[in-house]
C-alpha cells in the first residue's frame, strides 16, 4: 500500500540558509499535517492543510511557511535557519471523509550547522 | 489548550510480561490515537480509538471519553515492542493533534 513519502530523508544546512522539505500524502487523503520533533521530545504540531487550504496553525516560526499544491503534495519552507531548528520533521496525512487516524511519513532529519 | 498526560514516563519489562500504559486528557476530544515510535524514529499508528475498545494482535486499547482517559495494553511483550508510545488527541473543531510526552518502553530479552 502507498505510504506518505517525505524527501529528503536527511538534510544538512548552514545557519541562515534556506531549506525546503517535501511531503507526498497517501492518494485520496485530503489533509496534510507537519510536525517538528526535537531530540527526546514529543512531536510538536506546526501547521495543517485541508483541501489545499491552511486549516490550523501551531507554534510555527514566522521564518517557516508551508503550502499544499493542486496535486495535494505539501512543502515546508524554512528560511534563516538557526541551530535550534535541527530536528526531525514529520509529515502526516489523513482522509477526513473516512477518518481512521494519521499516517506518518518517515521524516526528514534536518541538521543545522 | 488541551493537556495530555501519559504514565508511566518510563517502563522496563522482561520479555513476555504484560503492561498497561495510560493517557489522561483535560477536555473533550474529537479523536484519540496511539502511536509507537520505534528506535529508528518511525511513527506507526497503532489505534484510532475515540471511544470503546479495539484489539490488534497482542495490543489492545480502551478509551473512556466521558472520563477522559485511554489505556493501551501490551501483552506478552517482545523486544521489538521497545520504543516510545505516544497518545495523541485532537482538539474539538480543530485540525491539529496534540501529543503527550510519551511512555518510553524497553523490553529486555
* Whether B95 and A107 lie within 8 Å, measured CB to CB: no
- Would you say how long chain B is, in residues? 109
Partner A, chain B 21-40, Cβ-Cβ below 8 Å: 31, 33, 35
pLDDT tens digits, residue range A72-106?
999 999 999 999 999 999 999 999 888 889 999 99
Residue A52 has pLDDT above 80, yes or no: yes
Band the pLDDT of B93: cuts 50, 70, 90.
Answer: low
Whether residue A110 contacts residue A8, with contact meaning beta carbons closer than 8 Å, is answered with no
Q: Which residues contact B41 (CB under 8 A, 6 or more apart)?
A: A88, A106, A107, A109
In angstroms, the CA B11 to CA B15 distance is 12
Mean pLDDT of chain A: 95
Paired sense of beta strands A10-13 and A108-112, if any: parallel
Asked if B57 and B36 count as a contact pair (C-beta separation under 8 A), the reply is no
Q: Which chain B residues contact residue A44 at CB under 8 A?
A: 99
Q: What is the pLDDT of residue A96?
A: 85
pLDDT for residue B30: 79
How do residues B49-81 score in pLDDT, each as one tens digit?
999 999 999 999 999 999 999 999 999 999 999
Work out the pLDDT band at A68, boundaries 50, 70, 90: very high
| A45 vs B35, B48, B96: nearest CB | B96
Interface with A, mutate which of B90, B96, B101, B103 (most A CBs under 10 A): B96
Whether residue B107 contacts residue B78, with contact meaning beta carbons closer than 8 Å, is answered with yes
Report the pLDDT value the prediction gives residue B96, as an integer from 0 to 100: 87
Amino acid at each position: 500500500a502507498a505510504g506518505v513519502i517525505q524527501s529528503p530523508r536527511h538534510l544538512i544546512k548552514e545557519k541562515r540558509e534556506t531549506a525546503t522539505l517535501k511531503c507526498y500524502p497517501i492518494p485520496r487523503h485530503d489533509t496534510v499535517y507537519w510536525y517538528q520533533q526535537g531530540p527526546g521530545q514529543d512531536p510538536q504540531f506546526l501547521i495543517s492543510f485541508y483541501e489545499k487550504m491552511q486549516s490550523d496553525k501551531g507554534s510555527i516560526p514566522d521564518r517557516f511557511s508551508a503550502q499544499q499544491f493542486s496535486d495535494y503534495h505539501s512543502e515546508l519552507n524554512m528560511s534563516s535557519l538557526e541551530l535550534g531548528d535541527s530536528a526531525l520533521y514529520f509529515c502526516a496525512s489523513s482522509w477526513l471523509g473516512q477518518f481512521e487516524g494519521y499516517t506518518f511519513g518517515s521524516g526528514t532529519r534536518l541538521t543545522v550547522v | 489548550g488541551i493537556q495530555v498526560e501519559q504514565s508511566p514516563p518510563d517502563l522496563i519489562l522482561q520479555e513476555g510480561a504484560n503492561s498497561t500504559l495510560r493517557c489522561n486528557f483535560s477536555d473533550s476530544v474529537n479523536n484519540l490515537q496511539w502511536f509507537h515510535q520505534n528506535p529508528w524514529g518511525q511513527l506507526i499508528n497503532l489505534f484510532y480509538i475515540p471511544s470503546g475498545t479495539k484489539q490488534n494482535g497482542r495490543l489492545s486499547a480502551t478509551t473512556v471519553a466521558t472520563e477522559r482517559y485511554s489505556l493501551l495494553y501490551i501483552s506478552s511483550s517482545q523486544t521489538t515492542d521497545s520504543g516510545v508510545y505516544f497518545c495523541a488527541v485532537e482538539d474539538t473543531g480543530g485540525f491539529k493533534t496534540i501529543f503527550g510526552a510519551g511512555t518510553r518502553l524497553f523490553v529486555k530479552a
